[in-house]
Amino acid sequence: MENQIIEVQPIQLTKEDFSSDQMVKWCPGCGDHAILHSVENVFPNLGIRKEDFVVVSGIGCSSRFPYYMNTYGFHSIHGRAAALATGIKVANPKLSVWMITGDGDCTAIGGNHFIHTVRRNVDFNILLFNNKIYGLTKGQFSPTTPKGTKTKTSPQGSFERPFNPGELVIGAQGNFFARTLDTNPKHMTAIFIEAEKHRGTSVVEVLQNCVIFSNKAHELITSRELKDENQMMIEHGKPLIFGAKNDKGIRLNGTSLEIVKIGENGITESDILVHNMHETDPGVHVMLSRMMPPEFPVALGVIRAVDFQTYNDEMDETIAHEKETSKIKNVDDLLNSGGTWTIE
Amino acid sequence: MTLKKNKVVGLEQVVVRFAGDSGDGMQLTGSLFSDSTAFAGNDFATFPDYPAEIRAPQGTVAGVSGFQIHFGRKTVYTSGDLADVLIAMNPASLKANMKWIKQGAIVILDIDTFTEKGFEKAGYKSDPTLDGSLDGYNLIKAPISNLTKEALISLNLDNKSVLKSKNMFSLGIIMYMFNREIDLVSKYFETKFKANPLVIEANKMVLAAGFNYADTLEVLGSTFKVEPAPLEKGKYRNITGNVATAWGLMAASERSGRELFLGSYPITPATEILQELAKHKDLSVRAFQAEDEIAGIVSAIGASFTGSLAVTTTSGPGLSLKSEAIGLAVMTELPLVIVDVQRGGPSTGLPTKSEQSDLLQALFGRNGDAPVIIIAAQSSVDCFYSAFEAAKLSLEHMTPAILLTDGSLANGSEVFKIPKVADLPKINPPLVKANDPDYKPYRRDPEKLNRFWAIPGTDGLRHRIGGLEKEDGSGNVSHDPMNHQRMTLLREEKVMRVANYLPDQIVYGDENADLLVVSWGGTYGVMRTVVEKMQRQGKSVSLAHFRYIMPLPKNTETILSKFKRIVVCEINNGQFVKYMRMNFPQYKYEQYNKIQGLPFMVAELEEKFNALLKN
């Protein structure tokens, strides 16, 4: 099944339709503001009625998000947004469900719900704001904090190996993973649209900056001096090329990736790996997700988008089939089914 | 088939216990005898007694599986205390069940299994049929294994298949003893084993062989008959508490017009509710088996937000895991039914044994002041009605409701007079119409104090809710001190006002009796049995058995005020009595508590009450 093209219906909505009247209380300079603006820009352009959006979250700075969107929204408890969104989508599959979460909420306390949601392929979008720190509790290391980072609970440097969200998603048999940056609204907007278009659990990792507790956590990727060398914008069907002069590329060498320079040692553009986000085999997608500076540029864009039956569709189809074929049409039928006897 | 024995003894009520190795098919034997009991027009209740292990070593006490049925010509409230008749298919089942039979009971043994090897596995040092330990019992040593083999000699079956049908030999004996027609059981074989005519034939032959064998027994001087009970006219079925719970929830879904969503995680002894609901996609039930207890309840809260009748099912330890999420449902004021099939605790405790373990957890096990409605089912059949009622109250008052059942009710079965769904009360959840200009997320109904249910997808009602404290009315996040106080009081008052919609508490017996017995939930059957028995003896005892725990019925205090002595009986270390002392400290309460993973016995309660009456 091909990705469903969202028909643009004659629903005329604007960004203002989705801005709530609540004061936004994130810190000035927080990356969350830019993400909120992008989402507000995306929602009017999806051809979906504004009443059909539901924005849900768990706990953390990012999880305040639903209060700032004028949609149906639910700010739940720490780590449980994926379970909440699953209930919403399975109970009413017509809704467009968006889960907003952070690295602690999603991959620590909510890790179990996250991997099982991905495994089941329930059709909703997960925007994972990864700032590699616990912000709301004021600066403790999270499961994505790099090893050795000094935080309030790792004053001598963290001992723990971090999760890479992309690797986690694909390892849990995820079918959609994309990565974007809070400093690139245009890219974010395009990626959020791709996430909604994909049927199934769509996970978007937004590399987001916490100005207070992990400022410049993504400095290697976002700084003006380094970004050309350390960012690789990927697109389906296009070669994996990056660099200030667009002269570097990614090549498959045996079972691993390597950086090559076009024009050197007889390398031409045809030697460069062409991105196929629809490839069912997860091998290259995992390797692309794992690429990190300083060794590699970080891959930004849709890394994996593979069609697969969704949990909610299977539930709907099974219900429709059972309703059609079962002799039991209502609870009276059920009560009177099987072994009964009558007292005259 | 005609009977040679002409002496028939009429009985008021009988308890029969089938016991064998877990592979011996005792559950099927018991349920076929139950079907025949239904056909005979008796009232009855049953209880299976499974081993905790799935397949414990064969022939050992740990591997014994039992099935008890209590039937009578009057209302039967429980599956019975001690058995009048025991069938033991091996030494281990005799050993495991000796403490559950009456002095002088009829004990039927498959004597072919009473070998040195059998004694060793069961842990018997000597042959119990010879060493005097069965003196005073009416012992029938039946060569069941060998007679089964003989009965099937013409069919040339392998030894394993032959021994598999020996349970039907024992059923044949019991059917004869109680003057039952075996044709009904033969018909069951024809449907059940349609694909395998040889199996039908074998089972029929063995059943008849058992029946005829009993006819030749000198020791069985007479047969027994329990006359039909005066049951109301109507259609009946047999139902377990767990199935009744599932069906009550489906009935509530139909009467409210809200689709049923279940988010649940398997846990003994609640799992059958999930299994039963998973079957019924034909009635649009969306049963989601979650990755854990927390995802079970949180997915249900999500479904409730979207307008479903949302349910989560669990047992004690699972309820602990759900605590935080119950608080979320309290804060967001969404309907949600939490079914807790109680078992022995704390921690993993006694998973297969029943206990009234979670009353205090249900009442108080959350952070903050977080009241919920609590109903406790009082019988297996009542699980149907109390599940329906929990759903109705939760939906109409927009607040979570906990339904407490227990392992005994869940696995036990009773005769259920089939109701018509149209006769059940209509359920009217407070839904908001599209574009209601007055809608505010926390605007309240002035009578019930519930907020209103605005379903995502509805025009003009977009709103946000969540676990943070809400401003009264607008539902915006609020940290205002006076608002928090007001909202806390409103949430409590909303639950307390549910009492305005509950029937009065019933007292069985004289309102001026010397002793008021107080109990709640799953002990109803045994409490009624004891109190009625004592009342027939002229004792001044009354019973107040509570189904509504939170809030309590409005006349509770009036009832308590009329009695000088009150004794609160519970299968725990005294939880309801603490709740009574908290609510009505002006009265004095005595207690009777049993914490053995076992139900109350009629005799022990009678002894306690008689002692109280004497002092």
Residue A95 touches partner B, C-beta closer than 8 Å: yes
CB contact under 8 A, A76 and B467: yes
CA-wise closest residue to B265 among A112, A107, A88: A112
B433 lies within 8 A of chain A by CB: no
Neighbours of A59 (CB within 10 A): 25
Q: Which residues of chain A lie closer than 8 angstroms to B263, CB-CB?
A: 83, 87
A11 touching chain B per CB within 8 A: no
Of B269, B207, B239, B429, residue with least CA distance to B333: B429
Does the pLDDT at position B277 exceed 90? yes
Burial B563-572 (b: 16+ CB within 10 A, else e): bebbbbbbbb
Domain ranges of chain B: 8-226, 237-423, 515-614
Report d(CA B361, CA B365) in Å as an integer: 4
Domain boundaries, chain A: 15-217+310-317
Whether residues B306 and A332 touch (CB distance < 8 A) is answered with no
Question: Is residue B217 predicted with pLDDT exceeding 90?
Answer: no
Q: Which tens digit of pLDDT belongs to each residue from B323-379?
A: 999 999 999 999 999 999 999 999 999 999 999 999 999 999 999 999 999 999 999
DSSP β-ladder status, A53-57 and A72-75? parallel
CATH topology of domain B237-423: Rossmann fold (3.40.50)
Burial of B615 (0-12, 13-18, 19+ CB in 10 A): exposed
Same fold, B237-423 and B515-614: yes
pLDDT in tens, B572-604: 999 999 999 999 999 999 999 999 999 999 999
Query: How many angstroms separate the Cα of A101 from the Cα of each of A76, A127, A310?
Result: 11, 6, 21
Just give the CATH number of B8-226: 3.40.920.10
- Global pTM? 0.95
Residue B525 clears pLDDT 60, i.e. is over it: yes
Residue type, B568: V
**Structure-token match 């007679």, residue found:** B147
Question: Cα–chain-centroid distance for residue B313?
Answer: 14
- Chosen for mutation from A331, A333, A342, A344 (greatest number of chain B CBs closer than 10 Å) is A331
Structure tokens at A186: 């245009």
Interchain CB contact of A72 with B (< 8 Å): yes
Q: What's phi and psi for B545, nearest 5 deg? A: -105, 120
Cis peptide before A294 (omega within 30 of 0): yes
Q: Do A335 and B233 touch (CB under 8 A)?
A: no
- Percent of chain B at pLDDT > 90 equals 90
DSSP-assigned states of every residue in B142-179: E-HHHHHHHHTGGGT--HHHHHHTHHHHHHHHHHHHTT
C-alpha distance from B296 to closest chain A C-alpha (Å) = 8
Describe the crossing of helices B241-256 and B382-397 by its angle, rounded to 10 degrees.
Answer: 40
Phi, psi of A196 (to 5 degrees): -70, -35
Burial B460-494 (b: 16+ CB within 10 A, else e): ebbbbbbbebbbbeebbbbeeeebbeebeebbeeb
What's the CA gap between B320 and B357, in Å, rounded?
A: 12
The pLDDT of residue A20 is: 87
pLDDT for the residue numbered A339: 87
Q: What is the mean pLDDT of residues B143-163?
A: 93
Question: CA-to-CA distance for B327 and A23, rounded, in angstroms?
Answer: 26
Q: Using omega within 30 degrees of 0 as the cis cutoff, is the peptide bond preceding B551 cis?
A: yes
pLDDT in tens, B389-444: 999 999 999 999 999 999 999 999 999 999 999 999 999 999 999 999 999 999 99
Model confidence over B53-63: pLDDT tens digits? 777 888 999 99
What is the dihedral sign for C-alpha A124, A129, A135, A140?
positive
Q: What is the DSSP string of B396-441?
A: HHTSEEEEEEEHHHHH-EEEEEPPPGGGSPP----BPPTT-TT--T
- ipTM metric: 0.95
Alpha-carbon separation of residue A275 from A2, A173, A229, B593 (angstroms): 18, 19, 19, 70
The owner of tokens 């090893």 is A147
Measure the N-to-C terminal CA separation of chain B; round to a whole number of Å. Answer: 57
Percent of chain A with pLDDT over 70: 97
Query: Using a CB-CB distance cutoff of 8 angstroms, which residues of chain A are in contact with residue B306?
Result: 54, 87-88, 91-92, 95
Q: What's the CATH code, domain B515-614?
A: 3.40.50.920
Interface of A with B in 17-46 (CB under 8 A): 20, 22
CB contact under 8 A, B247 and A334: yes
CATH topology classification for A15-217+310-317: Rossmann fold (3.40.50)
Which of A90, A113, A318 is closest, CB to CB, to B291?
A: A113
Among candidates A72, A74, A331 on the partner chain, residue whose Cβ is nearest the Cβ of B254? A331
